[in-house]
Structure 1
Amino acid sequence: MRKEPDAQADQPTVLAESAWFIVAVCVGCGAVLGELVRLLAGWLVTLRWAPFKGPAKLLESIPEPGLTIGAVSAGALLGLLLAFIALHESLSVSVSDSRVVLTVRDTSREFARDEIRLAFPDGKQLVLLGRDSQELAREDCDLKVARLVAAFTEHGYTWADADPHRDEFRRWVPGTPGLPEGANALFKAREKALNKQDDAEDARELRGELAKLGVVVRDEKKRQYWRMPRRP
């Protein structure tokens, strides 16, 4: 059941990854990794021949306890850096009776309640659908589904356990017929971006360009699938 928004009680439910938990895990794992590197260096110098034996000898030349402190500290700092990157890339979701706000990479996108027909998870992504079944948003999301369900349903949004249009998707191949003009070129460029680990942002932007043409895109193991929204 959907409920009408109450302007006097439009308090948002905000969902986000625990910063302290991410930092603690990353720093802890980094410190352990630093200690393992120290132990590995100590083992390598005992071998007659081994790759990286030169750097290992250099590392082992540092007297204790400086070596252990340095290795653990370096690992912890690396873990802290990874934690900041993870937090920057993580999605936060604010759900209120009147709007949904998705924030990732310091960029927020706001969707009014009357724009949103449905919300659902698709693998490790959160998807919002509009009135004509077009995708308003598709974001990587590590938040627990139970928390998302509670937040959306508490504020009266319709939630589905899976994509109701999943069977409408068709795999894209070069020259696919039935697409709007220019879509095949965008798919081709996006295919190249998906195959490059450092071009995730480019693939994201190209998804947006396809959305402007009315094409809904989902990925599966770097394969692209598409469908067209249902127009009234």
Structure 2
Amino acid sequence: MSTRGYGSATVVRGGAGDLVVMWVGFPLLGAGLGAALTAASGWLADLPWVPFQGWFELLAGLPAERAYPGGAGVAALAGLVLAFLGTRERMTVTVGRTEVRLHRDGHGRDIARAGVTGVFLDGKALVLLDADGAELAREQSDLDHGKLRAAFTGQGWPWRDRDPHEAAYRRWVEGLPGLPTGAEAVLRARQRALDENRGGEARELRGELARLGVVVRDEKKRQYWRPVPGQPDRDHQGR
């Protein structure tokens, strides 16, 4: 495929099957769930701890010919909203000889081949490293791993089967020495964001850590960190 600025590029994107699942499966699943909740609305309306009490009371008070279309329709609409959000979050990777573009939600990010010394997958995250060992990009996606590997190796990029710095990671435990000055507070704030499922804030704080010379990766809600080996020595806590 020829793409302006990328020469003969290889494009990796999600398949049509994913779109079918989202745009057909999500609304159908929502409609089924909505019908089931409508059938149980009288019982649910009597449980004070169940959310949306007003909605269930309304459904319970309607005749069946109006309640079921209303309950199923609202849930199906919620499924369509989820499909829309899921479609926006799909990533497209365009790999050329000299650049790669990571495109998501209407925004594209270009990374030059000259600055990349390693490309690999960390779980579902596509990671690009620079010569210092810092991360140029870490992007989550559901793209096929085999297709990503073939795209990068086919264009001559330095694909790695695993993280070359994997052994350098240490689990973050509050109060342990060795972190650059200021990183402890950022990791503490980021842990709170992870615990409270605030993904946007966690991504933002990952960038703050990168500026301090720290690379962080997550396993479930546990943080593991490593220093960037190629950066100048800094003042460290615990020295």
Q: Normalised by the size of structure 1, how large is the TM-score?
A: 0.82
The within-5 A match list for 1:37-186 is 37-41=37-41, 44=43, 50-51=46-47, 56=56, 58-186=58-186
Residues 1:151 and 1:22: Cα distance change in structure 2 (over 3 Å): farther
May I ask how many residue pairs the two structures share in their alignment?
221
Query: What root-mean-square deviation, in Å, do the aligned CA atoms of Structure 1 and Structure 2 show?
Result: 2.7
Are 1:10 and 2:13 matched, yes or no? no
Q: 1:104 to 1:55 in 2, by over 3 A?
A: closer
What 5-or-longer segments of structure 2 have no aligned partner?
232-239
Which shows bigger deviation, 56-65 or 22-31? 56-65
Comparing 54-63 with 103-112, greater Cα deviation is found at: 54-63
* 1:67–1:216 CA distance, 2 compared to 1 (3 A): same
1:210 partner amino acid:
L
The residue number in structure 1 matching 2:190 is: 190
Q: Percent identity?
A: 42
Deviation at 1:23, TM superposition (A): 1.8
State the partner residue of 1:32. Answer: 32
SS for the counterpart of 2:117 is strand
The corresponding residue for 1:231 is 230
Question: Which consecutive residues of structure 1, in runs of 5 or more, have no partner in the other structure?
Answer: 1-6
Query: How far apart are 1:218 and its partner, in Å?
Result: 0.6
Tell me: CA distance 1:55–1:218, structure 2 relative to 1, closer, same or farther (3 Å): closer
Q: Deviations over 1:183-226 (max 9, x none)?
A: 222212212222222x2111111111111122111112222111
Contact 1:12 1:97 in 2 (8 A): no
Equivalent residue letter for 2:90: S
Q: Distance in 1 between matches of 2:146 and 2:22?
A: 20
Contact 1:13 1:94 in 2 (8 A): yes
Distance in structure 2 (CA, Å) of the matches to 1:134 and 1:98: 20
Amino acid aligned to 1:51: L
Question: Mean alpha-carbon deviation: is it higher for 62-71 or for 125-134?
Answer: 62-71
Q: Distance in 2 between matches of 1:86 and 1:200?
A: 15
Alpha-carbon distance change, 21 to 155 in structure 1, aligned in 2, over 3 angstroms = farther
Distance 1:73 1:175, change over 3 A: same
2:210 matched to which residue of 1?
211
- Report deviation, 1:54: 8.3
1:23 & 1:161 partners in 2: Cα distance?
34
